[in-house]
Amino acid sequence: NKPSITPHTPTNTSRVLSECDTHTSIYDDDTEMKSVKEHFDRQTSQRFEEYEERMIKTRRKCKEKCDKDIQQIILKDKMDKSLAEKVEIGCLRCGCGLGGVAASVGIIGPIAVKELTKSTTAAAVQKGIDAGIAKAIDGLGNIAGLSNFSLINWHGMVTPTTYYKPMKLISIVSKEYYKCTEPGNTIDTLFCQATKAWDAQRSTLGLETVSKQAAEVAGAAGRAAKAAEEAEMVLANAESSHLYSAIGYSVLAILIILLVMIIIYLILRYRIGSR
């Protein structure tokens, strides 16, 4: 027997849709499904549009807020910089002004005090002279009642150049002594009577006595003038020392303020540079 050979032809069932089938659907002809799809598409589009509008508004608000913040930052920075510059300029001006004032006080102050000291010294000398003249006139007047001579011009004879000189005062009393030997109203004065009594004891005793007393008056007047002058000089020196101390304290205070101004200026310069 001869074997029978049956040819086998394979049959494959393909599940791949054709090109036209990929774009087709079983629901294309379904009216209700089409309505649902259209409704879905419309809502989805509407939501996307609403979302886009919200995003646009949000972006606009964010942009406006950012712009506003940036403007505020810029404005604040300008104000800080302007304030710092103004304070810096003010510190420089104050520093220059105070430096000039300190220099002026340091230079002019001692000069003014020195001139004031000169004037107070002159016043002290004059006060001593006045005290010496008054002492001399009072002492001469006490010599045997010589003050009873009403016609004596004491201030004309006892001057700043004669009150402390013994020979000058002796000359004054000698002149009045010799008037007692001349006829006139002065003979009856206490001075003339005293000198006559002394002369009765010895011829030159009266002149010697009044001359000795006049020399003593000159010494006392000189000492009184010196004491008065020294007292005034002590007061003047104390006043000048007080003024020097006041000037020193003033200069020190100005220098401290100037140092504070310089520190503020340097701090502001550092802050401006760091920005």
Under 8 Å between Cβ of 164 and 225 = yes
- pLDDT tier at 67 (50, 70, 90 boundaries)? confident
**Average pLDDT of every residue of the chain:** 75
Residues in Cβ contact with 251 at an 8 Å cutoff, skipping those fewer than 6 apart: 102, 105, 106, 109
Residue 262 vs residue 22, higher pLDDT: 262
Question: Is residue 50 predicted with pLDDT exceeding 80?
Answer: yes
Give the pLDDT confidence of 134-189 residue by residue, as tens digits.
Answer: 888 888 888 877 777 666 777 788 888 888 888 888 888 888 888 777 776 556 67
Question: At a CB cut-off of 8 Å and minimum separation 6, what does 144 contact?
Answer: 190, 191, 194, 195, 209, 210, 213
d(Cα 233, Cα 241) in Å, to the nearest integer?
Answer: 12
Residue 20 has pLDDT above 60, yes or no: no
Give me the residue spans of the domains in the chain. 112-244
